């Protein structure tokens, strides 16, 4: 994956903060460390991501839900599984509350090849946003189901982390927007992927 560099001005224009970008990078490091079976580094990164999420994000922000679940999983991998279930349940609760956060997401502005397409998008903005809302709910529903599965079967195979990291690398949006925040939360959740993957 090519390293990204964003200026403060670009972050502000996109409606992002340094905490948004730091959380994403830390969640990536967590997934990468779990995939390499470096449990000490994974636990440290997961703890850092959770601290960032608790300090900077709303209580219904799905990135907080992912942070809780991932930290729980890293504790479990480090032999502290008795502390994991509470974190899995708390993370699931955040994911279940995430529709309120999703309702305030901004639909991404797309680069268009013609003035006609730009005018059509502007004219039908509510329809365009409604389609994005549907897609966002699908992403959140999948992540919620995966969070529920953690409670039923808290032992997460290393393959789940490898799959999550590979999926994020493959599908990470190039633009800084709300969709990217949600996709990072869903795709960097270190729970097994369902076999019926959603196409984006």
Q: Is residue 2 in a domain?
A: no
Q: Are 190 and 31 in contact (CB under 8 A)?
A: yes
Q: Are 158 and 34 in contact (CB under 8 A)?
A: yes
User: What is the number of structural domains in the chain?
Assistant: 1
The 3-class secondary structure across the chain, one letter per residue, is CCCCCCCHHHHHHCCCCHHHHHHHHHHHHHHHHHHCCCHHHHHHHHHHHHHHHHHHCCCCCHHHHHHHHHHHHHHHHCCCHHHHHHHHHHHHHHHHHHHHHHCCCCCCCCCCCCHHHHHHHHHCHHHHHHHHHHHHHHHHHHHHHHHHHHHHCCCCCHHHHHHHHHHHHHHCCCCCCHHHHHHHHHHCCCCCCCCCCCCC
Domain of 175, in residue numbers: 11-187
The pLDDT value given to residue 198: 38
Per-residue pLDDT of the chain (200 residues; tens, 9 = 90+): 445 666 767 766 767 889 999 999 999 999 999 989 999 999 999 999 999 999 999 999 999 999 999 999 999 888 877 789 999 999 999 999 999 999 999 877 655 455 655 565 556 567 667 888 899 999 999 999 999 988 887 666 677 788 888 899 999 988 889 999 999 999 999 987 654 343 33
Q: Is residue 199 in a domain?
A: no
Q: Is residue 194 in a domain?
A: no
Q: Is residue 5 in a domain?
A: no
Q: What is the reported pTM?
A: 0.84
Q: Is residue 73 in a domain?
A: yes
Neighbours of 81 (CB within 10 A): 14
Q: Is residue 140 in a domain?
A: yes
Q: Is residue 104 in a domain?
A: yes
The pLDDT value given to residue 156: 65
Q: Are 78 and 72 in contact (CB under 8 A)?
A: no
Q: Is residue 164 in a domain?
A: yes
């Amino acid at each position: 994956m090519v390293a990204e560099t964003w200026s403060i001005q670009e972050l502000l224009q996109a409606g992002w903060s340094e905490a948004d970008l730091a959380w994403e990078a830390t969640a990536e490091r967590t997934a990468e460390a779990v995939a390499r079976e470096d449990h000490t580094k994974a636990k440290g990164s997961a703890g850092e991501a959770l601290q960032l999420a608790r300090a900077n994000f709303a209580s219904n922000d799905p990135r907080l839900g992912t942070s809780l679940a991932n930290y729980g999983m890293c504790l479990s991998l480090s032999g502290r599984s008795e502390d994991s279930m509470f974190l899995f349940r708390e993370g699931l609760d955040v994911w279940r509350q995430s529709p309120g956060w999703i309702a305030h997401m901004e639909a991404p502005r797309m680069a268009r090849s013609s003035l006609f397409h730009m005018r059509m998008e502007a004219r039908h903005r509510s329809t365009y946003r409604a389609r994005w809302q549907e897609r966002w709910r699908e992403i959140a529903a999948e992540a919620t189901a995966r969070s529920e599965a953690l409670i039923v079967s808290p032992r997460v195979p290393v393959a789940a982390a490898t799959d999550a990291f590979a999926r994020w690398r493959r599908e990470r949006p190039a633009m800084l927007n709300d969709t990217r925040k949600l996709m990072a939360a869903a795709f960097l959740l270190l729970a097994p992927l369902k076999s019926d993957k959603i196409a984006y």
